[in-house]
Amino acid sequence: RSARTRQAALRSLREAFAGRSLCEFLLERRLTLADSLERCLRKGKGEEQALAGAVLTLLCLQMGSGAEAEQLFRSLRPLLVSILTDGAASPVARQSCAAALGMCCYVAAADPE
């Protein structure tokens, strides 16, 4: 429940997603991960939001360009844009959300616009 515990979990996920291919594992647990990342982005501050953005980017890359990744991107896109345009959000969180938005859009969005 503590922010420190969530940040440690997000760091572990970031390392795991960056180190190995976990496509099958992620497809079975994508909704749970999406809910957790959404909660971290919505209620977290600063570093927690930045870590959640990085994990979201790696999650989209792991899932590829399928329908599941597109659904994940569509559900979290408004939240990423909200953090990105929020002047009160920390710069590191805004940067991470911008990177996540760009990469997920490139990988998962079916609509070219």
- Please, which pLDDT band fits residue 113 given cuts at 50, 70 and 90? low
Distance of alpha carbon 34 from the chain centroid? 8
pLDDT tens for 63-110 read 877 788 788 888 888 999 999 998 888 999 999 999 999 888 888 776
Distance CA 94, CA 89 (A): 7
What does the pLDDT read at residue 26? 76
What the block records as the tokens of 57 is 């980017």
What is the CA angle 81-96-50, rounded to 5? 105
Q: Regarding predicted confidence, which is higher, 16 or 69?
A: 16
Q: Of the candidates 58, 60, 44, which has an alpha carbon nearest to the alpha carbon of residue 93? A: 44
Q: Sketch the domain layout of the chain as residue ranges.
A: 3-108
Q: What are phi and psi of 21, to 5 degrees?
A: -85, 120
What does the pLDDT read at residue 92? 94
pLDDT tens for 23-72 read 777 777 878 888 888 999 988 888 999 999 999 988 888 887 778 878 88
pTM for the structure as a whole: 0.85
User: Contact 91/58 with Cβ under 8 angstroms?
Assistant: no
User: Contact 59/36 with Cβ under 8 angstroms?
Assistant: no
